[in-house]
Amino acid sequence: MRRTFWVLAMATISLIGQAQVSLFDLGLGVRAMGLGGAYAALAEGAEGLLYNPAGLGWARGITVDSTILAGWVAAGYVGVALPSLGAGLGYLGTSAGEGLGFSQLGLLAGFGLDLRMLGFPALGGIALRYHNTSIAGEGETAFGVDIGVLGSFPSPFGELRAAVVIRELGFGGLSTEFVVAGAWLSPFGLVAALDLTSEYIALGLGWAFMGLAEVRVGIRQEGVFRISLGLGVRFGNYTLDYALLTHPLLSPSHRFGFGLRF
């Protein structure tokens, strides 16, 4: 079993290096991954910057979000969002023996604008991505651009949202991803979201009660079928989040998050 683990891990590292896949493709953002990654139309705050920079247009205060990913590979993310502005830092690192180390550093910086004040029922945003990948001492860098639009429409049954995003439109071999997404937010705390992308399909359901907690479930199809479960708890300005994402071949991965809201 241990031999199988290392073979899978090294094969994955090799593929990541060859394709210049971003560490952000591993699924960061704890609330988002509790919903299976269906978050482009729900994007809010520093975590939303990972999925749709247009969500920065919602920001009215300061938010800080973090993610620790634990499983067959480890990664982390911390981000900050201000009104219309956001930035994040992600890191992935692993070692399979001397001279076989792999690491990736990712930086994000984005801007979002509420276009409703200009008469359009939508938000727009753009973000810049920087990736530095090191495999066995050899390094490569890549740059990408995210462009997103997020619309919000009232209805008798709650708020409806629609989003279109282009992620990692870049240089240096990054894999550009196209996203069409929708979401429904009911006045009773129910949330449903669907993301259709060129890389995966994700469907998420959530229920928030009394502004104190939210339970989440999601399904994700990206070559393999995965199920996710999540829970978020809020204490005043503090939030704690957890998400579990299954895999048919590898052991489940766990995501833990801590956030601040001001």
Q: Quote the CA–CA distance of 245 and 166 in Å, as a whole number.
A: 24
Q: Pairing state of beta strands 138-155 and 201-209? A: unpaired
pLDDT in tens, 116-157: 777 777 899 999 999 888 876 677 888 889 999 999 888 888
Answer yes or no: is pLDDT of 15 > 70: no
> CA dist 112 to 18, 52, 54, 126, Å?
32, 9, 5, 7
Q: How confident is the model at residue 12 (pLDDT cuts 50, 70, 90)?
A: very low
| Phi, psi angles (nearest 5°) of residue 34 | -65, -25
In 52-157, DSSP assigns E strands to 63-70, 75-82, 85-94, 102-114, 122-135, 138-155
Answer yes or no: is pLDDT of 60 > 50: yes
Number of domains in the chain: 1
Answer yes or no: is pLDDT of 97 > 60: no
What CATH number does residue 157 fall under?
2.40.160.60
Q: What are the beta bridge partners of residue 170?
A: 144
| Domain extent at residue 183 | 2-261
For the chain, the farthest-separated pair of C-alpha atoms sits apart, in whole angstroms, at: 61
